[in-house]
Amino acid sequence: IFATLKEVLEAARAGKYAVGAFNINDMEIAKAIGGAAKEEKSPVILAVSPSAIKYAGIEYIYEIARVTADKSGVPTVLHLDHGTTFNDCVQCIRHGWSSVMFDGSKLPLEENIKQTADIVRIAHAAGVSVEAELGKLAGVEGHVSVAEKDAIFTNPDEAKMFVERTGVDALAVAIGTSHGAYKFKGEATLDFPRLEKIEKLVNIPIVLHGASGVPKDVLDKAAKYGAKLPGAAGVPNDAIKQAISLGVAKINIDTDIRLALTAAIRQVLAEHPEEFDPRKIFGPAEDAMKAVAKGKMQLFGSSGKA
Ligand code: G3H
Ligand code: 13P
Ligand code: ZN
């Protein structure tokens, strides 16, 4: 039913485009992403975090993803996002995921290598792909010195060794992005020279986490209807394009979908205080999320590649 991360990303890398990995928590988000992929004729990655599994229940979220893939008819990867334990990964492998991320980025390097390699052995035996992470995706404030960058961001030589010793299928790197809606104070800067070095040394697809754009129109709409998100800022579209040109083949988006949902629900509730039919509340949110996802597929160049 599901494509593997490896096959989808190898095609993206060869074709110099990136595939979006969109976090799903429920049916509405999944339908929005699957509907966007179908209309765009784009391969897609449905990303499920351990906390999404806890929220939805593993059987529910698996079936939602299965139906989403079936209905969209495009290559769809069911991927564990940020598994942090052996059990997180094995649970998803057993339940039919086609890809897992083991995030050992907070572990000492040797421990990250050891645990990632263990998971690769098991996952590959089951035909499941593995993404791993090296470097810290911590929020970086303002101007960062070279010494600070070396302490936080992915070291290119370590990345080469990490990939060789673990056998992972894709590598998430830290080059200045961070999760959530508050990525930059002041100008957005990513360490592209570092990304270029990593790409030259590492022979597998590179993954960019924390890649939401936090667009102004969505922020303005949310604020108009009561949201309070002062200082929210994301990765500009130009930076995303440059990252793709330098070898990024998987781009993770959660925040932009969350913001679209929040703004749409706020608008319905503010404009129709008499409304209490959930379908009238969630429906517009699904449409708004779908529009955002379609825009990402166009930006990433994955439209028309399914
Ligand atoms: O990187 C984390 C993703 O945005 C998922 O977040 O753990 O709240 O589901 P979550
Ligand atoms: P954003 O918070 O920028 O959407 O990043 C999501 C992510 O990296 C999920 O793994
Ligand atoms: Zn992430």
169 is catalytic: no
Q: How far apart are CA 62 and CA 57, in angstroms?
A: 9
Q: How far apart are CA 98 and CA 78, in angstroms?
A: 5
Number of H helices, E strands in the chain: 13, 8
Question: Which ipTM score applies to this complex?
Answer: 0.99
Cβ 3 vs Cβ 287: under 8 Å? no
Query: SS3 of 22, please?
Result: strand
What's the farthest any 2 CA atoms get from each other in the chain?
Answer: 60
Give the global pTM.
0.98
Q: How far apart are CA 286 and CA 215, in angstroms?
A: 18
Q: Which of 26, 81, 103, 191 is catalytic?
A: 81
pLDDT tens-digit readout, 221-268 = 999 999 999 999 999 999 999 999 999 999 999 999 999 999 999 999
Q: How far apart are CA 70 and CA 34, in angstroms?
A: 9
Taking the CA of residue 49 as reference, the ligand 2 atom at the shortest distance is 10
More confident residue, 140 or 52: 52
Q: How far apart are CA 174 and CA 231, in angstroms?
A: 22
Residue 41: pLDDT band with limits 50, 70, 90: very high
Q: How far apart are CA 35 and CA 144, in angstroms?
A: 40
pLDDT tens-digit readout, 46-90 = 999 999 999 999 999 999 999 999 999 999 999 999 999 999 999
Q: Atom 5 of ligand 1 has which residue's CA nearest to it?
A: 49
